[in-house]
Structure formats: C-alpha cells, structure tokens
Structure 1
C-alpha cells in the first residue's frame, strides 16, 4: 500500500507528526484497494499554521477514477444490501472501537491538516466515532408495517430498502466527523458509496476508509476519490443513472448547483448548507451561561462552523455588561499552532478564508461598527485573533453572510418580536440560540425561529442522537438522530390480495 511522503521539521513533536503522516494511506481507494490515480497527478496538503506542505503525494483523482469508484460501488450494491443488518452493525461497532483506540493519532492528524487545537481535535474524534456507534445501533432496527386495508380484501405491507449507490461530499472544517456522519448512515442502511473529501483536508478520510476496511467492510462498499477538480469528478457521477443518492455538506451556492445537476436523474438528496445563526440574549438571561454559551457557539473550530453564532442580539438593558465580558473572554484566548499546549485558537484554513474574515470586519467598521481586538496575527500561518464588533448595523455584510471566523458581531434589541423578526431576516435557517430564564419565552421564541435546530441556554446543539439540519437555504434532510438513516432508505409498499 502506498503511503504519504511527509516533510521534516525540527520543532518539538516532529517525530510524532512524521509517524502519524507516514501511517496515512495514499492513492484513490477503489474496490478495497489503494491505487495510483489514473491521471498520475498528486497534490499537496498544507499545514495552515506553518504554510508548509504536510505531503505532496495525495492522489489527484479525475473522471476515470470517479468512474472506477462508481463501478465498484454498483458491483457491490446488491451483495451489501443483502448483508444481514446485524453484520453491518458489527462492522460499524468495530470501526467505532478502532477510532476511539486511535484518538491521539487521529487528533494530531486533524490538527495538522485543519489547524484546530488538539483538545478540539480529540473532541472531533469522539464525536466522529459516536456516529459509527449510533448508526450501528440503528442498523438492526429499520422498521416496516403490516395492516389490513380499511375496505378489506387486501393486506398493506411496507418495508424499507437501501436507496443504492451514493455520492458523499464532505467539507474541510470537520474532516473526520462529517465523513462518519454520512458513511455511518449509509453503511447501516445498506448503501454503497463514493466519498469525495475536501481537497484541503483529505487525510482523515483516508484513515477512515482504512479503519472501515480493517473492521470488515467488504471491498467496493466504500470508495474514496480525492481531487483538486471537484467539478470534473462530481459532474459525471451525477449524470450516471446508476447513482441514486447525493449527500453534500458545504456552501449554499455549491449546494444549489449540485441540486440542479442532480435533478436530471431525480436523485435523492441531502443538503447541509450554510448558516447565519442568531444568538439571542434576553434581559433575564443568566449572563454567566450566556457568555459561556456564546464563546462555545462562536469559537468552536475558530468560528469555522455552519452552526457558529453569526449574529448576536443582546437586550439593551444588559448589552453593556455582556459586551464587556464577551470582549474580555474573546481577547483572552491564546492564538497559536494547534499542536502547542495551551492554544485556544488555531489558524483559519487558508489565506482566502482569513482575507474574507478581514474584509467582513472592515466592511462592518466602515458601516459604523466598533471593533474590539482582532486582526491578522503573525507573519506565517493563517491566524486571525478573536474580535468583538459592537453597534453592528443591519447594513453590514456580515449580517447577511457567514463570517466563518473568530469574530462576534453584537447588536442590541428592545422587544421580543423585534428580535425574532431580525433573527428570521435571512435566507438561512440552520440553527438559533436563545438565552433566557423564562421557560415559556424559550419555547415560544424557539418555535418562532425559522431554523431546523435551536439551542436553549447552551451553545452546542450537535449530537449524533439528534437530527442535524436546517430549513430555507440551509439545506434539505437531516443527518444523525432517528432520521439520519432514513435519508438512505426507500419505502416500498406491497399490496397483497386476500
């Protein structure tokens, strides 16, 4: 099996980094084998903290590799669908155990390719593994129905069967967890897959493929193709009538394009797209809980999360104290390479993302917002220090666009209906957060928010046992929860005479 070539470095921990990188398989993974890409091309994966290549040997797959991957998935589909649900469950459970056992190495790999601090990477490994355990428990409990027709003379039988070969496209911000969230559900349902990881962070997906193969996943059930030209790989797959399912996590604009391409073959689609999350702090909120919740909802993953708090609305009676305490909390966070002990905030993923955050902050200030802290940090690495913006006007771009960075944009409100209207004034609808001691208000506002998820007095909603997803331009379908496996199943109805 080919392995990734790694760079050398003299900094502390370099030996562990070399060992972890050397353990990652390379190539495209098709029919249970790692192969050199048909194109013969490779590309670099860069450490966003150092701007140095971690590897120059990642397979740059093309249309031929995509076709081979789909061919393998199609060939494996019937046999995999006929595999006993308990066997599929046991494979997922073994893979869960393997991920947990490799937590430290996987966390280091995630930090190297994505940049987040090691404690956050360890949390991602635990989160990612939990999807495998959750769906292992779901696999053997896919239900059906049997009843007599109301008019008599007929029996109505329903059961669920796999959708079929599926294309899974994952983003760069949670390189392991977004893979297990999709792959776990597809494996449990009996679907075969082609996984296309983000080119910025493909390494964790390669390890996931290896772990599942070692856990007993048959060849062809999971195939992985990395590429620097997603359009060339994805478009022919969507045009192939043998593909029956598309699951995508990423930007709304790309998701809309994929939906248009998927329409020709009327594919089942799951879309987890962008967000513009409101976080509302009422006058009766526990400010300790609100500050803690805001920091969690804003700063997880350096703010590079679709569920990050994007617009913070604070009641005018507590806005001054809230802004002061939030600024103190944000600016006290330590910025550094994610492998360094004590680091709270790692780099952003690349220069483009750092420049976008800076441009949104500059635009807000130009429209009258007041900036507290923040800004690019250091000469090397894509670092941006945490910042708070107060007095943010509705004309600022960041009230309409995802910040995807460590910047909290705070504005004030007076009345409940005023803030609900402002929170809903967006094309997005993924998640909202509400802080209040009034249970009736929490439920009332939570029901009025046009979002798929709501956090009440907490800044974290993601849980494998909960249905993750949004409304409006934030997507279609749900991942996780009881609903997640349903995205990979079709309902069949049998009408039986007698």
Structure 2
C-alpha cells in the first residue's frame, strides 16, 4: 500500500477480492461503487463477490486450516507483530482512506488506526499465552489434561462504522488461535479492510489463511457459506435484527457464534458528578463517529439537582461542533454514512418532538457543504418521553436525548428499561454508588466517570439482545478455540 499527497486515498487501496493469497476479480468482473459520504462522489469500484466467490474463499480457508493450525504460537505472534508495525507505519494513509469512505474526521480516523492496531499487538501476545490445565483427578485415579485447539474455518462479518478496528478485532484473534477465515467487509466501507489485509499479506500471511470477499449482496454470499458444514465459526458485528437472522442460519451447523449487536446506552449524571468531566464524557460518548457507534450514548438521564446546569453546558459545547467533510481542517463532526441514515435520524427527532420533546438546539448546517453530502447537524432534545422512538431505538446519529430522574432507583429503572445491554455510562463522585451501579446496570460494560470503554485488553461485548461472546482481552482468543480434555489413568 502506497500513496502520495497528490493522489486520492482510494487510489492506492486494493479493490479486488483476496482469495488463496491472490488478488482477483469477482466472477463475471462484477463491481460496485464505494462513495464519499461527504460529496456523494464515487471513490472506487470494488470487486463484487458472488456466492461462488464466497465458496471459493471458504475452499481456500479450509485448504489452509490444517497447516495453519500446526504453526507454532510464536510464528503466529510474529506475523501479527509485523502487521502491527506495518499498520502504524501506514497510519496516515489508512486514516485518510477511512475518512474518504466513511466520513469521520481525520483525527478520529487516526485514533481508530491506533486503536485497531492495538488489537493486532494484543493478540500477537495472546498467541503465545494460550494456557491449559494439568491436575490430579479428585479420586486420585489419574490426571486431567485440558487444552485448547483452533475451532476451524471462520466467517467474519464486519460493519461499516469502524472499518479497521472491527476487522482487526476479529482477524487478529482468529490468526492468533490458529484459525483461517473468510472476511466479508461492509459494502459501504470495504477499502480500509482490504488495505489492512494487503498489509497483512505483505507481512507474510500464508495463502488461504485470510480471504476477503466484499459484496453488494451480503445475504446471497453469506447463506451458502453459513450452510457449508466445513465452516465452524461465525463472528458478526451489526444490528440486532440481522444478528437474529444469522443465528437462525447458524443453527443447523451448530456454529460457534460471536455476536456484537445493537446498543441503547444510558448515560447517567448524578447530582454529585464532576460536571466538567460529565460534559466531556457526554460529548465523547455521543458524538464520536457522529454518533454512529453501538457504544454511543443513546439516552441521557440527569438528576434533577444538576439537570439545568448540565444541559446548559452541553448545549454550549454542542454549539461549538464544526460540521463538515472529515478531511477538512477543523471538522469535528463529519457526514452520516448515507442518505438513508440522515432520513432515519430526522424521523426519530420529528417523532420525539411530536410526542412533546423540547428542541434546545436545532440542526443548522454551515454553508458551502456539498448538496450531495449526507450531513446532519447535532440536535439536543429535552424532556424526551420514554415512548418516543428516539428513546427506544438505537439512534446512530448526533442527537442528544435528555430527561431527568429523582433518585438512584429511578435512574437504574430507566436505564435498564430496554431489551439491549451493551454499555452504560455513569458519572458520580460517590464511590459506593459507583460500585452499586456497576452491579445494578444491565449491560456488559460500564463506563464509570468515563465516556469511552473500548480497550484491546478488555472483553468487549453485551448482554440481553446486544449479543453473545466477547472480543478483546484474555477472553477474545477463546472465542476462536475449542476445549479438549483427556483423562490419563494412573499407571
């Protein structure tokens, strides 16, 4: 991967399928367009995989599985470490490419490159730390030997909103565990994932270990792969609705599944909170990636004693947000991913207002933006009724929906009043309350006095309909391993 300031970022990115260690065209030469959400202009045309291409990628993964599983942990670790170095060496190029196809500000893209690379570095270490167990049986009749082995060929489906981090979060543990994989990146943002796999190949990836099949027909490509008895693992990040469908399709093969699904994150601010920290956390948890994150704060619950002050400070800070193309200097909020996203978020705001929510800050775009760009200025709503769609559905946009609460019990009840449970945020100086909230809030993760929870060394994932399994941390590699047990009788 190489580039220069005079060329668009997409000019140096791979645009073909990557199967069995080779870049190749899709069957029939089919392609689809990848567009810049800031302008609507075409960035590149990418190979459009067919179901036959998907199965060819699975063939390659199956053919490579036995040999890759037999490689030493150190060999896998060193491959990942070389890839980490390559990603960091190409940080600026990858960030520019990500901004071009996804729209986020360059500073956020650069931060994602660093964050995504950390998964590669973390699992480079985990590859050599896979443990086991050797114990005496309680009866004294022999020994219990427990080990782990690769689960086998995997199908990894990544979303459009974090095109590097979501790819590394799945590919790196699969490689570390000794699994081969077929990767299907989102059709809206395939270029960054393709570029990453290009770096992985340059770092010495054996052919067939990782294969990439971008496609405009996700279900058509996925169904035959999921139905193939040779596949042993599915990892998906995306909506709860699609996750349910994929789980049904995985049932016949009894596939090992990891599901990182939708969120509905509550953000609690108590009377004793450090308001400066709470406001900073609110802006980070809500507006990072334009609100297009499963971890985005969805519902702001503010205790009555600080509600007015917190709201005033939030509105003032949101007024300072600069909407524009992600590559433009000074932009702090880029476009949404497509026109459908803008339409849906607008509908959520209109529904809330119709139900009685007050608009404290209405969307107002600066002049000079492309009329074909998918921009939406941030909105702040107060007194949002719990019946409003914006309160019940994942927003995925720059809308801050606020309402007040009287005491801790009411706050917890409101926070837990959802079928989802990915992450919760809470700001309080009371240590005892903080401990209680960590235990009472129904979510897989809690940001206590922090507007961000993601870390490569931590187990990312949710409960309820927000998903199954964990990504990252010590648990991340276990999602790609099977447990084996042998009994060794006493001689």
Q: TM-score w.r.t. structure 2 length?
A: 0.97
Q: Distance in 1 between matches of 2:8 and 2:330?
A: 23
How much does 1:19 deviate? 4.8
Equivalent position SS for 2:53: helix
Distance 2:12 2:424 in 1: 40
- Which one of the candidate residues 199, 217, 240 is aligned to 1:229? 217
Unaligned segments of structure 2, at least 5 residues: none
| Alpha-carbon spacing, 1:342–1:307, altered in 2? closer, same or farther (3 Å) | same
The separation in 1 between residues aligned to 2:364 and 2:226, in whole angstroms, is: 40
Counterpart of 2:32 in structure 1 is: 43
Where in structure 1 do 4 or more consecutive aligned residues deviate above 6 Å? none
Task: Name the SS for the 2:376 alignment partner.
Answer: strand
1:347 maps onto 2:335 in alignment: yes
- Which deviations, in whole Å up to 9, do the C-alpha atoms of 1:44-74 show, x marking residues without a partner? 000000011001x201101110010000000
Contact 1:48 1:347 in 2 (8 A): yes
Correspondent of 1:254 among 228, 242, 247:
242
Distance 1:295 1:26 in 2: 35
Report the secondary structure of 2:29's partner residue: coil
The aligned counterpart of 2:385 is 393
Give the aligned partner of residue 271 of structure 2: 283
CA distance in 1, matches of 2:364, 2:130: 50
SS in 1 for 2:465: helix
SS of residue matched to 2:295: coil
The yes-or-no answer on 1:263 pairing with 2:255 is: no
Matched, 1:23 2:12: yes
1:383 corresponding residue in structure 2: 375
Structure 1 residue runs without a partner (length 5+): 5-13
Matches within 5 A, 1:388-467: 388-467=380-459
Aligned: 1:78 with 2:40: no
SS in 2 for 1:18: coil
CA distance in 2, matches of 1:235, 1:395: 36
Shift of the 70–155 alpha-carbon distance from structure 1 to 2, 3 Å rule, reads: same
Instruction: Report the alpha carbon displacement of residue 16 of structure 1 after superposing the two structures with TM.
Output: 2.8
CA distance in 1, matches of 2:444, 2:63: 37
- The answer to whether the aligner puts 1:153 opposite 2:141 as a matched pair is yes
Q: Distance in 2 between matches of 1:18 and 1:370?
A: 46
Q: 1:215 is matched with which residue?
A: 203
Q: Does structure 2 conserve the Cα–Cα contact (< 8 Å) formed by 1:373 and 1:385? A: no
- Asked if the contact 1:374–1:384 (Cα under 8 Å) also holds between the matched residues in 2, the reply is no
**Deviation at residue 25 of structure 1 after TM alignment:** 1.4
Q: Which whole-Å CA distance do the structure 2 matches of 1:189 and 1:225 have between them? A: 22
CA RMSD of aligned residues (A): 1.3
Provide the TM-score with structure 1 as the length reference.
0.96
Aligned to 2:476: 484
C-alpha distance in structure 1 between counterparts of 2:480 and 2:37, whole Å: 35
Partner of 2:160: 172
Distance 1:342 1:420 in 2: 38
Matched, 1:241 2:229: yes
